[in-house]
Chains A and B, each alone.
Chain A
Amino acid sequence: MTLQKKDKTGALIGLAAAAAFLILVIVLENTLAPTSQLFVVLKKGAVYSLVAVSMNLLNGFTGLFSLGQAGFMLLGAYTYAILTVPVAVKDQVYYLFGGSAVKFSLPDLFGGLDTPVGLILGVILAILLGGCVAALFAWLIGLPVLRLKSDYLAIATLGFAEILRAIFQWQALGPVTNGANMITQIPTFNNFNITGPDGKVVLYLSAFFPLLIATLCIIVIVMLINSSYGRAFKAIREDEIAAEAMGINLPRHKMLSFCISSFFAGVGGALFAMFANNAQAKVYTSTMTYEILLIVVIGGIGSISGSCLATFLYVACSEWWLRFLDNKMVFTSTMQPKRIAFIVIFAVVVIGGAFLLIRRERKGPGRMWAEILTWIVALLLLGWLGYFIVTGSLNVPLMGTGFRMVVFSVVIMIVVLFFRQGIMGDKEFTDLFLRGKKAIGKEGAK
């Protein structure tokens, strides 16, 4: 099977999967209750996956270690918010500064938020402009800093993100950025739900919209990576000097990758503002960048589908699946199924974890103390479980506000320590389908 043919099949499978996913989202959205946590995960996941893929383009495919993602998101979010606050509520939003310096609003130019044209054109134009502003700033920032190497580049871009955050909180720019206050009343994902004449929602599209935008953007990025530019980026990642010797213009390609990545980060920022219902500078901290870097690495550096998968797992874990850990839990009786399930899961996790750790120790350099330590900890935990069963205690210990994030960070540490290459390594999920075919192709050639 030739490389191009394989690429084509892979692309088709990818497209089909994306389309099927989008259709599934529409169906789910109109069958499940709109309050389900699933939709928060889908919306936030859409935003984060776009930003993660844009970061992967830069860090994973071009090998430029940049930590400026939150700054570019901030630019996108603010551009979007400033351009879309309806004219009618501007005085209310900017009441501290006596109205906004920007006297127009994009959706209003096309007929207002209530008309489909005004909404779609206005919002999409604002999102794209958000991306463009981010790309423009990336170009300006890139001129001095792209000459720096690895960690120096990282800290310089991180610094620019922090500077941007300070500038947007500056009171003197209040008439434009609303100072340290957030810009509210902007069109959000919910504006895309189609309502009937009686004000009731006929068709829910609020999760579909961000996913559609994110999917389209990711398709563009994938196409870019598979083009000659993408090959040049990868060459730069592998070896800058060799790439230069092959005639790749280093500054130009680095700048291109940096600007494109920032463009999509800006688009992601605009979507994030829609998700959060506001634009607020203090949200876009370096912590946000670390979070996205974490997602990129957990997904696998240099794997687009890995980034997407990791984003949804990450967001679902932090926002949804582990949420029950934040509430105190008391069982009603000793034989309640939930209590039995808790005991079984606890025992399985402790025994399984200890077994895996000990096996790992025995495979590697046999260190006695590590094995003994594992034994002691495991036996202590099991001892506690025995105590829990015998006394018929009904209180689950430790659970309470904040415990979710502790468990979540432990899960992340486990993933980081045991899956060094990330979930997908540098493979794409379409490779999974193609592996069987490739084997057949090879046999055929024999």
Chain B
Amino acid sequence: MEFFISTLLFGISVGGQYALIAIGYTMVYGILRLINFAHGDVFMVAGLMGIYLNTFLAAYLPPALVIPVMLLLVLVLTVALGFCIERVAYKPLRTAPRMSVMISAIGVSYLLQNSATYITGGQPMIYPSIPFLSDTITVAGTSIKWVVILTPFLVVALVILLTQLINHTKVGMAMRSVAKDFETSQLMGIKINSVISTTFIIGSALAAVGSMLYFTTYSSVVPTVGSMPGLKAFVAAVFGGIGSIPGAVIGAFLIGICENFVKILPFEGATTFVDAFTFALLIIILVFKPTGLFGEKATDKV
């Protein structure tokens, strides 16, 4: 029973982290019809930034200020990175065939990974521990970090904030409209480019928060660390019906929980099948519901 509870807690926490990344995928897809393959690597770069900024700031600031300033800077820089990627790599291809934009995304992902390998020398880096979040607490007989317990609450809060933004502000309305029909919204006087930039900014900010939570739980950062969570977050987005934010969040939580239960299945080599299981689940869902759980027609896509 204790084992069950701690697995469930871990599952929910990982699911929350996937959810934060998945929102970025699903929003960009909803608006641009683009699988943003670079999103997982933005997440990785956010992790690396945290490490480098932490050592850099420690030399200039009093110890108590280092972590908060670092977190804030990571957020700002990741947002800037997401914005630049969109402007440099996707915007010039707005009228190009869909495949070219996707290749551009793969190219950006390559560039980020290779640059990270070059800068870190390919060595795994250790993410600084954030006070309070990294402290452990004993729940149901097992000691777990605070971050595991707090993640789902933070995620739910952020998601509520985001849905409010999308449903009740002017920017949100513009986003919904662009997601429905790109060209018509342009004719209605919506500034497409600023809407798209806003989408990338929100996506990157959430990825930065996701990276803080994820790397506090699993502290090792290597250049390819973003690809698996990125892929899984994308799976989560597809799972819930790509383009739908509630779908992506539910998909991410489901995947996180299932994945942690597969890990403890009592047969030899169960851990080999953790990733495979996620995909198997996805395929089963797709076979029965070809557009995901909350397919495009059922919900607004943003």
In the complex, what's the smallest C-beta–C-beta distance from B88 to chain A, in angstroms? 8
- Which of A166, A180, A290, A297 is the one whose CB lies under 8 Å from B276? A166
Once the chains are docked, how many angstroms separate the CA of A6 from the CA of B95?
A: 33
Chain A neighbourhood of B234, CB < 8 A: 155
Q: Given known contacts A166-B272, A417-B92, is B290 in contact with A144 (CB within 8 Å)?
A: no
B283 touches A151 (CB 8 A): no
Chain B residues whose C-beta falls within 8 Å of the C-beta of A152 in the assembled complex: 238, 242, 286, 290-292
Task: Give the CA-CA distance A148 to B289 in the complex, in Å.
Answer: 10
Q: Whole-angstrom distance from the CB of A101 to the nearest CB of chain B?
A: 17
Q: Please tell me if A403 contacts chain B, counting CB pairs below 8 Å.
A: yes
Query: Given A145-B283, A156-B283, A162–B275 Cβ distance below 8 Å?
Result: yes
B108 adjacent to chain A (CB < 8 Å) = yes
- 1/0 contact trace for B248-276 toward A, CB 8 Å? 00000000000000000000110011011
Q: Is B279's CB within 8 Å of the partner chain A?
A: yes
Q: Can you list 19 residue pairs at the A/B interface with Cβ under 8 Å? A: A151-B35, A151-B238, A162-B279, A163-B279, A166-B272, A166-B275, A167-B276, A169-B272, A170-B272, A180-B272, A290-B37, A297-B99, A297-B103, A401-B121, A402-B117, A402-B122, A409-B111, A417-B93, A420-B97
Return B265 CB to nearest CB of chain A, in Å: 13
* CB of B114 closer than 8 Å to a CB of A: yes
> Which residues of A have CB within 8 Å of B238?
151-152, 155
| Residue B89 at the chain A interface, CB threshold 8 Å | yes
| B106, B109, B234, B278 pick with most chain A CB within 10 angstroms | B106
- Beyond A144-B283, A159-B279, A406-B114, whether A170 also contacts B269 by CB under 8 A is yes
Picked from A149, A167, A403, A412, the residue with its CB within 8 Å of the CB of B110 is: A412
Interface membership of A349, Cβ < 8 A: no
The CA of A417 and the CA of B108, in the complex, are separated in Å by: 11
Q: Is B104 positioned at the interface, with any CB of A under 8 Å from its CB?
A: yes
Asked whether A162 lies within 8 Å of B276 as measured between CB atoms, the reply is yes
A residues at B contact (CB < 8 Å): 59, 144-145, 147-149, 151-152, 154-156, 158-160, 162-163, 165-167, 169-172, 180, 286-287, 290, 293-294, 297-298, 301, 400-403, 405-406, 408-410, 412-413, 416-417, 420
A315 to B185, alpha carbons, bound, how many Å?
43
Q: Closest 6 CB pairs between A and B?
A: A159-B279, A166-B276, A402-B118, A405-B114, A409-B111, A409-B110
- CB of B111 within 8 A of CB of A410, answer yes
A417 to B279 Cα, complex, angstroms: 32
The reply to whether the CB of B19 lies closer than 8 angstroms to some CB of chain A is no
Give A163 Cβ to nearest chain B Cβ, in Å.
4
Given contacts A155-B238, A409-B114, contact A290 B272 (CB under 8 A): no
Which residues of chain A have C-beta atoms less than 8 A from B107's C-beta?
294, 409, 412-413, 416
Distance to closest chain B CB from A65 (angstroms): 8
Using A166-B275, A286-B231, A416-B104 as known contacts, list a sample of 20 further A-B pairs with CB atoms less than 8 Å apart, ordered by residue number in A.
A145-B283, A145-B287, A148-B290, A152-B290, A159-B279, A160-B279, A162-B276, A167-B276, A287-B227, A290-B109, A401-B121, A402-B118, A402-B121, A403-B118, A406-B118, A409-B110, A409-B114, A409-B115, A413-B111, A420-B100
Whether B96 is near chain A, meaning CB under 8 Å from some CB there, is yes
Bound together, the chains give a CA A153 to CA B275 distance in angstroms of: 18
Find the B residue at minimum CB distance from A173: B269
What is the chain A residue whose CB lies nearest that of B122?
Answer: A402
* B9 CB-CB contact with A under 8 Å: no
CB distance from B241 to the nearest CB of A (A): 10
Please tell me if the beta carbons of B104 and A417 are within 8 angstroms of each other in the complex: yes
Shortest CB distance A310–B (Å): 11
CB neighbours of B268 from chain A (8 A): 171-172
User: For residues 63 through 119 of chain B, which have their beta carbon under 8 Å from a beta carbon of chain A?
Assistant: 89, 92-93, 96-97, 99-100, 103-104, 106-111, 114-115, 117-118
Complex interface: chain A residues within 8 A of B96 (CB): 420
Given contacts A402-B117, A406-B114, A290 and B106 within 8 Å (CB-CB): yes
Known contacts A152-B291, A155-B238; A413 and B269 CB within 8 A of each other:
no
Q: Mark B168-202, 1 if CB is under 8 A from A, else 0.
A: 00000000000000000000000000000000000
Chain A proximity of B129: nearest CB distance (Å): 28
Does the CB pair A148–B121 fall under 8 Å? no
Would you give the shortest CB distance from A259 to chain B, in whole angstroms? 18
Instruction: Flag whether B23 is at the interface (Cβ < 8 A).
Output: no
Query: A166, B103: Cβ atoms under 8 Å?
Result: no
What is the minimal beta-carbon distance from A74 to any residue of chain B, in angstroms? 13
Whether a CB of chain A sits under 8 angstroms from the CB of B22 is no
Interface contact B35-A293, CB-CB below 8 Å: no
A406–B113 CA distance with the chains assembled, in angstroms: 9
Using Cβ atoms and an 8 Å threshold, which residues of chain B touch A401?
118, 121-122
Q: What separation, in Å, do the CA atoms of A231 and B140 have in the docked complex?
A: 65
Residues on the A chain within 8 Å of B286, using CB = 145, 148, 152, 155-156
Q: Which residues of B contact A294 (CB under 8 A)?
A: 103, 106-107, 110
Q: A159-B279, A159-B283, A163-B276 are in contact. Are A301 and B106 (CB under 8 A)?
A: no
Say how far B222's CB is from chain A's closest CB, in angstroms. Answer: 13
Do B279 and A420 touch across chains, with their CB atoms under 8 A apart? no
